[in-house]
Amino acid sequence: MANPTDEEAPGARPEDCWNYAGPHVAALVDDCCRMLNYATDKGINVEPQDSRNVSIAGKAFARGRWSEQIESDLYTTKSRLAAAIQPVTTETLAANALHDARKSTRFYFRATIAIASVLVPLSMVVFANAKLASSSKALIESNDTLAVTLYNELQDHRNQIDAAKQRLITAANGAPGASGASDSAVASAPAASSGAAAYLVKTGKAAGVNRIPSCAPLASADGATAINVSAATCPSSGTSPTNGVAETGSNADEMVANTPTAIVIKGQLQEFARNNRLLFAQTIWLGRLNLAHYQNVYQSPWMESARTKRENLELRLPILTNPYRTMKQDTSLSEDERNPDHAIDDGLQKLAVYQDIRAMAQDAQRTTDIMWAAITTYVLPVLYALLGSLAFILRDLSEQSVSKTFHPTHGRFVNRVRLVVAVIIGTVIGLFDNFWKDSVASASPLAIAFVAGYAANTFFAFLDKSALGAKLAGKQQ
């Protein structure tokens, strides 16, 4: 075919009306122009003939002088340009590719923010629940051991107080000089019957008197006065009626309040009460984190007000000592509270209070173990795997936008598949929780889920390697 000159007008001859340009030629020329522009912008070496072929094709297409030779040369040029600019392709150089990449980046960025806004508070709550539950279990174990020991020691201490009372009564009845009286005044003391002594113990204990006044009349079993102690043994008008035969500070409970055994009991009571208060506070927090108010399992009345809570959670001071001598400072003490045995009863009361707190704590721990353990095993690994997958997608989109390698159609499909794979990975990690703890030293399942979601290919390669190793081991057996 004759080649028309530039001076001749198109259509001057019949063969000039023949146009070989099909509907695909416009896209072909446009693709070659984009690839050539990208190659020159990035400094990629291009053959001069390729540049010339693109220019000739553009001119021929614009003037309607397309030919089969021009199209053949242009296809050859396109192949060489595509090889030169790899991995960039004509699709990634399309005008809408960068717009789609930015749109996808915004979508996955918002998805990352949404998952992180749920995952971070949820992880904090799970962490706090785990710490509180672990601490509560340790406190329960400690108090369970102390409760048995304290009960036996408090009962022994009560017996020691009763023995001290008996010694005071014996001293008041038969010990010469115990009250500072003359021999003749005390000589009549042994005449008291055993029934009178028993009556004195009973009435003294019931009245809360812990020091036996030497001027107190001893009564016989039928209630009649058996002995009238000499006036020389009675306190003077300026002496306190509670001084009695013993010196100041010789109360029955004070006689054993500072013995080595009592000091040990005091320390154990303080530790026990402290554990009670801490366990009660942690149980309240566990109930709040479990989205449920703490429950008074046994409907105990001591939890009804702040005053009763304080009375039952704190020790009455002084510990294991009759507060009778502080009655002037504390007028709220009742007759029962002045009894030396009340200090023992107060300690035993703390043991009863502990049973209520223990039931509440275990109820909260059961909720934690069931609800939050399920979330930790089945929900958190999936969320962490999704977060890792989103981190990879955002990083990949950023690199593709810079390098102009984002494929609008293929990229969206690949990213969606990666998210589905992340859900599967998170579920698998949750199901095989113990396996990962044994296989990966000191690695958290949640950390494994994040890494597996980020590097899904590496994760599946690890699974393939594990499966192959198990298969080979089975064949060797």
Cα distance between residue 176 and residue 189, in whole Å: 9
pLDDT at residue 227 above 70?
no
Does an H or E element contain 219, and which? strand 218-219
Cα distance between residue 249 and residue 57, in whole Å: 119
- Residue 130 in any domain: the answer is no
Cα distance between residue 170 and residue 190, in whole Å: 9
- Residue 184 in any domain: the answer is yes
Q: Which residue in 408, 421, 430, 403 sits closest to 457, CA to CA?
A: 421
Q: Which of 212, 245, 278 represents a domain boundary (last residue)? A: 245
Cα distance between residue 370 and residue 378, in whole Å: 12
Lowest mean pLDDT among 144-158, 177-191, 248-262, 372-386: 177-191
Q: Which of 216, 245, 274 represents a domain boundary (last residue)? A: 245
Tens digit of pLDDT for each residue in 402-414? 888 888 888 889 9
CA 12, chain centre distance (Å): 88
> How high is the pLDDT of residue 200?
35
Number of domains forming the structure of the chain = 3
Bigger pLDDT: 284 or 243?
Answer: 284
Mean pLDDT of all residues in the chain?
73
CA 406, chain centre distance (Å): 42
- Residue 213 in any domain: the answer is yes
Tens digit of pLDDT for each residue in 269-300? 888 888 888 998 888 888 888 877 666 666 77
State which residues form the domain around 57. 14-84
Q: Which residue in 389, 382, 309 sits closest to 350, CA to CA?
A: 309
Tens digit of pLDDT for each residue in 10-54? 444 545 545 566 778 888 899 899 999 999 888 888 888 989 999
- The mean pLDDT value for 127-132 works out to 88
- Residue 459 in any domain: the answer is yes
Cα distance between residue 184 and residue 181, in whole Å: 8
Share of the chain above pLDDT 90, in %: 15
- Residue 443 in any domain: the answer is yes
> How high is the pLDDT of residue 18?
52
Tens digit of pLDDT for each residue in 344-394? 777 788 888 888 888 888 888 888 888 888 888 889 999 999 999 999 999
- Residue 1 in any domain: the answer is no
- Residue 414 in any domain: the answer is yes
Q: Which of 36, 59, 84 represents a domain boundary (last residue)? A: 84
Does an H or E element contain 27, and which? helix 25-41
DSSP percent split of the chain into helix, strand, coil, nearest 5? 70, 0, 30
- Residue 466 in any domain: the answer is yes
